[in-house]
Amino acid sequence: MPRDKRPRTKSAVQKPAVAAPPSPERENPLQAFIPQPSTLETTTSTTGKSWLNQPFFGKPKDETILYVKNVEAMLAHPTSHDNDNNEEEDTPDTKKLLEEIRGQEMQLASDYEGSRYIERTLKNANQRQMRIFIDAIVERVVDVATHR
Amino acid sequence: MAYTETPLNRFASHVLQTVLTLIPKFLEEPEPQISNEDGVLHSIPEFVLMIADKLSPSPNLMRDPYGSHILASLFHLLIGQTYEVRSSSSEKFGKEKNKVNIEEITKGISVQVPQSFSALLSNIVVNLISPDDATARRIQREDITKLPTHATGVISLTALLETTKNIDLINLFLEKGEEWILSCSEDKVGSHFMCSLIKVI
């Protein structure tokens, strides 16, 4: 097998990009465009997560981790091999998490931590969960040929 | 990230590759009807065909450092096999953090695939090396013969060669002549491709 040539370098893996704190001596000319914590709290989604409607880059890291843990919990629903008719029921919590994740999957996937959590949880997913996840992302795997 | 860049994104491409790698283990399971608020979900094989159609394999995508791995996974999936190649740093991270190693789940999986998968794989080769338009065909064939020495392009090309063993694809390289074959064999990357080419002849 050929070796993996993707530029996921050691330094990149160990050092995820973190914005440097602004220098006290120099005012950041883009400061006015950076979402402030107070701004982030002004919009509340129907799911109760205020950051869901915010640009991805403005999402606080703690909430990112909380969110991917919800994703993990949703997808970690155990596979039911004992069930003869292969039907698997969603628990109410799973259903709620499924509703919350809709439309956000690829934003999470494009994040360093988020992609790792999704990959890990997918490995434990059963067929039903995999189909739900693919359904959510498949429309986003679009038009690569025309895009390039 | 723009959604159009999913297979080309540094992180999202790995998620997509994980999906493609895990799908074979579901192909031989019964597929119960599943609905959500939008209606009945497609079956796993239908999703595979949709993803393949949307990826639309091209020399450009084959050259992309992330897209190349996505296509290699797709080609193996279409013959019912898994393909999981990660960088050493990625594998190390996975063992430390992910706990579940994907290779432990998918290792050695080889399943029966629907006939539509075989037909799709054949179509991919035809579209790559024999487009209807004569000019496009000449340019694309020339483009593909540059992939064996391309560091990332060779990954998807080798996967396509090994999964299809397509005679037209093999001839495309053999017809380049002795000088090209020698030059490719002496190349650091091309030599690996030549090993695969010899195996499928």
Give per-residue pLDDT as tens, B82-105. 887 665 556 666 666 654 555 655
For residue A73, what pLDDT is reported? 55
Tell me which chain B residues have a C-beta less than 8 angstroms from the C-beta of A116. Answer: 93, 97-98
**Sequence-distant contacts of B56-61: CB under 8 A, at least 24 apart:** B56/A143, B56/A144, B56/A145, B57/B124, B57/B127, B57/B128, B57/B156, B58/A144, B58/A145, B58/A148, B58/B128, B59/B128, B59/B140, B59/B143, B59/B144, B59/B147, B59/B153, B60/A145, B60/A148, B61/A144, B61/A145, B61/A148, B61/B7, B61/B156
The fraction of chain A above a pLDDT of 70, given in percent, is 23
Mean pLDDT of B159-165: 95
Mean pLDDT of B114-140: 91
Mean pLDDT of A33-48: 46
Tell me which chain B residues have a C-beta less than 8 angstroms from the C-beta of A122. Answer: 15, 18-19, 22
Its pTM stands at: 0.68
pLDDT tens per residue, range B1-43:
444 567 888 888 888 888 999 999 899 888 888 877 778 889 9
Max avg pLDDT among A68-77, A96-105, B45-54: B45-54
- Closest of A8, A56, A65, A38 to residue B152, by C-alpha: A8
Report B:43-72 residues touching A (Cβ under 8 A). 43-44, 47, 50-51, 54-56, 58, 60-61, 65-69
- Cβ–Cβ contact A148 with B under 8 A: yes
Q: B51 vs A116: CB contact, 8 Å cut-off?
A: no
In angstroms, what separates the C-alpha of A33 from chain B's closest C-alpha?
19
For residue A97, what pLDDT is reported? 53
Tell me which chain B residues have a C-beta less than 8 angstroms from the C-beta of A111. Answer: 11
Burial code (b: 16+ CB inside 10 Å, e: under 16) for B11-48 equals bbbbbbbbbbbbbbbbbeeebeebebeeeebbbbbbbb
Q: A141 vs B86: CB contact, 8 Å cut-off?
A: no
More confident residue, B98 or B55: B55
Cβ pairs A/B, distance under 8 A: 166
- Mean pLDDT is lowest, of A32-36, A124-128, A142-146, for A142-146
CA nearest to A136 within chain B: B41
**How far is CA A48 from each of CA A2, A44, A92, A100, A103, rounded to the nearest angstrom?**
47, 6, 17, 9, 16
For residue A116, what pLDDT is reported? 78
A132: nearest CB among B30, B41, B152: B41
Structure tokens, B164: 């299809």
For residue A34, what pLDDT is reported? 54
pLDDT tens per residue, range A91-129:
444 445 555 556 677 777 777 777 777 777 777 788 888
- ipTM score for this prediction: 0.83
Give the 3-state secondary structure percentages of chain B, helix then strand then coil, rounded to 5: 65, 5, 30
For residue A107, what pLDDT is reported? 74
